Amino acid sequence: MTDIDKHNTNQSLGDLRRYTKIDHGIEGHTSHGTFKVVVYNPHTIRIHATLAQYNDHSYAVVDTPSGDFKLEESETSLVITTSKIQLILYRTPVRFVFKDLKGNVINEDDAAFGTSWIGEQVSTYKKLQPDERFIGLGEKTGSLDRRGNGYQNWNTDNYAYHNGSDPLYCSTPFYIGIHAGQAYGIYFDNSHKTHFNFGASNNRFMSFAADRGDMNYYFIYDDSVSGIIEYYTQLTGRMELPPLWSIGYQQCRYSYYPDKEVLSTARTFREKDIPADVIVLDIHYMDQFKIFTWDKNHFPDPAGMIQTLKEQGFHVVVMCDPGIKAEDGYAPYESGKEHDIFLKYPDGTHYSGQVWPGWCYFPDFTKPEAREWWKNSLKSYSEIGIDGFWNDMNEIATWGNTLPELIEFDFDGNKTSSREGRNVYGLQMSRSTYEGTRELLNGKRPFNLTRSAFSGIQRYAAVWTGDNVANEEHMMLGVRLVNSLGLTGIAFAGYDIGGFVGNAHESLFARWLQIGAFSPFFRGHSMVNSRDSEPWSYGEEVEEVSRNFITLRYKLLPYLYSCFYMATKTGIPVSRSLAIYYPEDAHIYDGLFEQQYLFGPSLMVAPVESNASLAKVYLPEGEWYEFFTDKKHIGQQQIIAECSIETVPLYVKGSAIIPMAPYAKNNTQGLGTTLEIHIYYGQDKNEFFYYEDDGESYAYKEGDFHQRTIAFDPDKSQLKIAEVEGSYSSRFDALKICFHGFESSRFKVNSKLADTFYEDYRYIQKISNFDPVGDRRQEFVLKDLPYLLLDYTTGPLTISW
């Protein structure tokens, strides 16, 4: 036992006594403990300190160290240098200071405290740099800049949370610090309850702490915030490419039943020409809320119902709760006991908690046998055609919302308690569902959604922000939550459009759906005993607005699917906080503008409240076009935007390249045979990586994809479309290239003069049929938009002007 265990006072690592070289780093022995410094790559260095034995188990980190470094020593310090950063390790006492190669401080320990313990709690204290900002930490309420606030990571079922609620459902202990033109990331890999203090109630330090376990963090440095996210997702993994249908519109209700209501809802989408791909079944499809069952009265023929939906172009997603009702004769309960897969107390008895079905046992998804059992149980769904799965109530949520801390988790043979296991329960359930259904679906990609999560969840599931409320605050909060999740590597995220709790009014739903059309995960959802919340449920005007923006979402699918593919390669999210590209611009942290974000690399969304007809919008550096009118603005200024209920402020970055489909019919398969490529004139060079595949299988991993680089070069007055890479044949047979903001109207294709056509191009065909007072019937028309119409070829194209 050390002095720290006895006296419960702050005790740091102490002084360096000796060190030895290890693979890719060093191990140091101090007066109170030990530590390792491991170079994972030139950008990423791991610091791992303990007073006992190292705990190297991690469900989040999938990367392995491979970095080279140079080690120098002096009487006062050791210096580890990579090709990107320098770590100075002071000997007396042990403190860590990270610098760039020019000697500028990026991040440094508080000189007095560094890494230290109070009882079991371990903390690292970092000196606050002048004007330092902090972003990230995932699903956290509050402002984009975390400075001056504190947060906990302890996955919690937080029903109807508010703008100051903490913690919520997910824990992603990764943040990015920004100051003096520098940016860095720190990922704290400890799944116990953790605490982050970004200068809350003090002006000396920020700190991160865990109630128990090792101090185990990864320091990440790059020249850009986007680079930091790339290296963080190299460390924790990147998302798998989802099926194309899953990024279309999804309709949910707690709950649609009986089967006639499900079929009627689907049929109404088709009758009203509103595109949709997914119907989601909440818990009432089950027999008395018991997982892996069907209510035989309400769903006498689930296989037949699913087949009918498939014939109409719909996929079905079902809710999967982890609680297994403790009921004699209930097959999953009997089978789970037989295979010994449930969580237990230390005395060997099963843990039982009360939730929807009653008293339940819970699979220990940190146990390999439980993951295999779960996969086999999911066969009953996949065999009847279900290919989407929604992991809910997996915090673990039970009535009382308090999980006993002495429950034991297997942790893949590293037995521990729920103090360490709670935060990864949702991650491991999502892993079990994803890995199981990937194997069961005969080569088709599953869609997997979760409420609870931990770092690394992007490898297995999309995340939605839980039980939000039908009000203006939650609409804006949802946008910030999704953007912050993106900063922590979760590219596929979204919120319940219209609000889950309560009743949205007409204009609120219309506005929420407009904004939600530019969310990676696009789902309408509402709770039991609330008003109907389908796009047609709020009157004809809202129906028309909803149809227009859902259709626009589908027209943008060539752009959007390409962005999803890039997320699988780089980790860069689909919804991108402006802090990724403009971290030093103080305006983007202003409460008026912190909701603004980029949807993909080129579309900027400026969310506004439902009652706004005019709103202030901030345009960052560069050139910006109004999406619906092509009106051009110069950046680094505030403008006043019109935003009646028929539209939302939406802007296109100068030099943007946006592939679109001119038509959108019932679902993601109805995008026509012409690919439009919209080019917006700007002063900067730009590239876009256009991507296609079959949208459902893993054949793309074997080269069966269709990718080509599209490059805009204003200096050379050229647009180059590279030769196709991959063996997949495009769904398109014609290419329509649309030129926005160009002075020239004469274009050459591969050095030959081409015919230029013109049209009044309409993004939204019709906004409203209503004219109660004045002229509210708007049509967004781009007069005399020049375009080229070409056969779609796989060879290179050079277009000049």
Catalytic residue list: 392, 395, 467
> Which tokens is 24 given?
């890719």
For 232, phi then psi, to 5°, come to: -65, -40
- Whether residue 258 is preceded by a cis peptide bond, meaning omega within 30 degrees of 0, is yes
> Which tokens is 76 given?
């006062």
Element (H, E) at 712: strand 706-713
User: Which whole-number Å values give the CA distances from 644 to 316, 543, 611, 612, in the listed order?
Assistant: 35, 15, 8, 7
Count of alpha carbons within 13 angstroms of residue 328, beta-carbon side:
0
Q: CA 699 to CA 685: how far, in whole Å? A: 33
DSSP assignment of 349-371 equals PBP-EEETTEEEE-B-TTSHHHH
Q: Is 752 exposed, middle or buried (0-12, 13-18, 19+ CB in 10 A)?
A: exposed
Which residues have CB under 8 Å from 545's CB, separation 6+?
A: 510, 513, 514, 645, 646, 767, 768
> Which tokens is 54 given?
């190292």
Q: Which of 386, 105, 77 is nearest to 243 (CA)?
A: 386
Q: CA 466 to CA 157: how far, in whole Å? A: 8
What is the residue type of 700? Answer: Y
User: Which whole-number Å values give the CA distances from 522 to 373, 493, 498, 763, in the listed order?
Assistant: 31, 9, 11, 20
β-pair partners for 133 = 178
Q: Which of 97, 130, 98 is nearest to 111 (CA)?
A: 97
Tell me the torsion sign for CA atoms 709, 763, 465, 666.
negative
Strand, helix or coil for residue 124: strand
Q: Is 52 exposed, middle or buried (0-12, 13-18, 19+ CB in 10 A)?
A: exposed
> Which tokens is 683 given?
């002063």
Strand, helix or coil for residue 781: strand
Neighbour count for residue 540 (Cβ, 10 Å): 11
For 633, which DSSP code? E
Q: CA 578 to CA 346: how far, in whole Å? A: 48
Q: Is 120 exposed, middle or buried (0-12, 13-18, 19+ CB in 10 A)?
A: middle
User: Which whole-number Å values give the CA distances from 205 to 110, 208, 218, 498, 573, in the listed order?
Assistant: 7, 10, 19, 40, 30
Query: Can you give 642-667 as a three-state secondary structure string?
Result: ECCCCCCCEEEECCCEEEECCCCCCC
User: Which whole-number Å values give the CA distances from 341 to 240, 322, 429, 688, in the listed order?
Assistant: 28, 12, 13, 48
Q: CA 232 to CA 570: how far, in whole Å? A: 10
